[in-house]
Amino acid sequence: MEQETQEVVALLEELQQDNTVPRNVKIKLQEMQQQLQSDNGELSLKINRILSEVEEIANDINLPMFIRTQIWNLTSMLESINT
C-alpha cells in the first residue's frame, strides 16, 4: 500500500513539474499531494476525496490530451489503492 501511494505522489510531482499543465491544475495537484501525504484521516476517505477532484480536472477543456491521459492513469492508480 505504501509503495502504491508513493507512486501516486511521484506522478503528482511529475505532473506539477510539466510546463504544459495549466497553473490552476498544478495548484489542485499540489493540494491533492498534500492531502495524500497528510496524517489526518483515513486513507480511503482521502483517496475518495482526491478521486472526485481528479474527475473535475479530467473534464477541464484546457487540459492537453497527453496530460488528460496522465490524469486518467492517476485515477486508475488511486482506484487500485482504494480497493
Q: Which amino acid belongs to residue 67? A: I
Q: Where are the domains of the chain?
A: 2-82
What is the pLDDT at residue 40? Answer: 85
Q: Compute CA 79 distance to the chain's CA centroid, rounded to the nearest angstrom.
A: 11
What is the pLDDT at residue 1? Answer: 62
The topology (CATH level 3) of 2-82 is de novo design (two linked rop proteins) (1.20.1440)
pLDDT in tens, the chain (83 residues): 689 999 999 999 999 999 999 999 999 999 999 999 988 889 999 999 999 999 999 998 989 999 999 999 999 999 999 87
Q: Which amino acid belongs to residue 43? A: L
Q: Which amino acid belongs to residue 49? A: R
Under DSSP, the state recorded for 1 is -
